[in-house]
Structure formats: C-alpha cells, structure tokens
Structure 1
Amino acid sequence: MDFETIPLKDLHFPPVIDWWPLAIGWQVLIIIIFIFCCYLLHKMYLRWNENKARRIAIVELKALKIKFENNKDPAFLIKQLSELLRRTMLAYVDRKEVAGLTGTEWLEFLDRGLEEKYFTLGIGQLIESLPYKNLDKHDKDIDIENLIDIVLKRLKTPIQGGIS
C-alpha cells in the first residue's frame, strides 16, 4: 500500500479565538475596575487637597526657622509662630470655634489630638505669653528649637473634631 496515492486532505484547524471582543462578563469587570480606580484617584485628590493648608504651613514654618537663624529675634519668631498656628487652625476648624480663643483656651485647643500637653504645660505656653513680655530677661532661657519642633508636631497631627 502506497500512502502517497491515498486521497487524503490536509488537516483544517479552527480559527484562532480572538481576544476582542471580550465576553460581556469581562467587559463588565473591566468597567467596574475602571470606576473603582477613578473613585480611588478622586479620594486621593480630595485628601491631598484637604492637606493643602498643612503643607503650606510647614513650608512657612521652615522659612520662619531660616529667618530666625539669620536675625535671632525670638519675639518676632514667636509672634509669627502664633499667627501661623492660628491661620492653619482656621483652615481646619470652624471659624466660630477657633477665632475667639485666647489664653489657656487657645493652648488647650492646640493640645487637642497631641499625646502630651505641649502647649498648656510645656514650652508651648510661650506662644501665648511671650510676645507681650520684655524679652531681655528671657532671651537665654528660650529653647527655640524645641518650640519649633512642637509647632511642627501640631501642624502634622490631625485635630480631633476637625478635618484629618
């Protein structure tokens, strides 16, 4: 028997299955994943935008620190730190709650959410009292680096009852 003389036809393979168009289940899954990614991006943008005042305040704090290193005027620095804290807190909490606070109430507000009472019991008290005192007697005793670190910690820590 001669195999070359047998009338056989070549094998015919079915066409290759294309990737597109996908089945409806895959299309729905892709749409759901796309919507979820858009939602996450939107939430990340909102979170980033909420922290805008905090980022600006931290940059201003660094600039104040550089100014202080140049002119060595603690009264000016403490006054500027107080103003910076007030402006930043007004960005996160209702104006009615923050604008009228003075004295120990203001310091207690600044301590909200911090692990220690840096402002009511610590060096943070200087922010409330020192701008109105004669600094000649107090120049040697002020730990400006520690005060700046406390203000930075306050700026970085979310306020309880306010926006995180």
Structure 2
Amino acid sequence: MMPAAQLPTPADGPVLRDIHLPPDPSWWPLAPGWWAIAVLIVLVLCVVAWMSWRRRRWRRRIDTVMADIDALEQRHARQPEALAAALHQWLRRAARTYDTQAIHHRGDSWRDCLARVPVDASTLDRLMALETAMYRPAADAEMDGVADAVRRWLSLALKPRGVRAHA
C-alpha cells in the first residue's frame, strides 16, 4: 500500500467554503394541497349558486301563483261560485305533482290527496269546502279564508321535492 499524500493544512484547520442553500421555492406552481382547497372552494361556490338559482326560480313561481290567486279574487269578488271553481282548479293542477290521477279524485280520496301536503286540519277542511262551494249559489259565507288556505297549501305543495320532505 502506498502512503496517502498528505496535504498541508493550515494551523486553523482545513479551509471550507460557505454553505450555499438552494433558492427558495417559487410560489407557482402551487402544491397539491392548495389545488385541492381551490377545487373544494369552487365546488362549494357552484353548489351555493345552484341552490340560490333554484330558490329564486321557486320563489318566482310561487309569486306568480299568488299573483294569479289575487287576480282571481279581484275578478270574481262578486261571484263566489266562480272563485271557488277557479281556486279548485288551481288545487287540482298542483295536486297532479303528487298524484297523476288527482283530477279524478272525489270525496275522501281527494282529501287524502290534499293531505299529502303537511297542512293543518282547518286548512284541509277549508280546501274540502271548495268542492261543494262551486256548485252552490250561497257559497259566499264559506269563502272566507278559503283563498288563504289555498295560498298556504300551494306554497307548500309547489316546493321542490327535496324541500318538501323536510317541511
């Protein structure tokens, strides 16, 4: 074996160069965790926008229906039979979303169809009074509060399906 060549060393020890750190990482491209957070934020914003759009659409629909009922009340203010028939027609039309045969129901089956919407018993009784009020000329006394009952029932019946289950 050959002896290793010895380098002269200064008395203070070997001369070392300073440590050079690598450059700081740039802020772009982002780390995968930031991308995941960005995607999550975009998804949440999309869901909120979609829910807001659905709510506005439902609200416009309800406002239109309520305006139609107000117009019916004004148009048939002196004709309670015609008002009862028009309100009953609105109920039948909206009840078709629950039961496609709703236009054929009478009596107890019609009450069962109306009861699918969670309303109180007095509202249900007023709605049932419409069925006979449109055929009787002296229906004026029974029409008190019926339009409000129809409004209450329609506002619940026309809610989107996901909201109805929790009402």
Superposition TM-score tier, normalisation by shorter sequence: 0.5 to 0.7
2:130 counterpart (127, 131, 139): 127
Distance 1:60-1:45 versus aligned 2 partners, 3 A rule: same
Bigger-Rg structure (1/2): 2
Give TM-score scaled by structure 1 length: 0.66
CA contact (8 A) 2:85 2:130 kept: yes
For residue 121 of structure 2, give the secondary structure of its aligned residue in structure 1.
Answer: coil
Q: Structure 1 vs Structure 2: percent identity of aligned residues?
A: 22
Alignment partner of 1:28 out of 27, 33, 36? 36
Q: What do residues 70-92 of structure 1 show as CA deviations (whole Å, max 9, x unaligned)?
A: xx1101100000001111222x2
> In 2, are the aligned partners of 1:82 and 1:127 still within 8 Å (CA)?
yes
Aligned length: 138
Q: Is the 8 Å Cα contact of residues 53 and 88 (structure 1) preserved in structure 2?
A: no
TM-score using structure 2 length: 0.65
In structure 2, stretches of 5+ residues that fail to align are: 1-22
Q: Which residue of 1 aligns with 2:92?
A: 86
Q: 1:37 aligns with which of 45, 60, 76?
A: 45
Contact 1:57-1:88 at 8 Å conserved across structures? no
CA drift of 1:129 comes to: 0.5
**1:93 to 1:143, Cα distance in 2 relative to 1, 3 A:** closer
Q: Output aligned runs, 1:13-162, within 5 Å.
A: 20-46=28-54, 49=57, 54-69=62-77, 72-90=78-96, 92-96=97-101, 98-112=102-116, 113-119=118-124, 122-133=125-136, 135=137, 137-139=138-140, 141-144=141-144, 146-158=145-157
Q: 1:111 to 1:52 in 2, by over 3 A?
A: farther
Between 51-60 and 99-108, the greater mean CA deviation after superposition = 51-60
1:9 paired residue number = none
Equivalent-residue separation in structure 1 for 2:26 and 2:108 (angstroms): 73
For the aligned residue pairs, the C-alpha RMSD in angstroms reads 3.1
C-alpha distance in 2 between matches for 1:54 and 1:99? 21
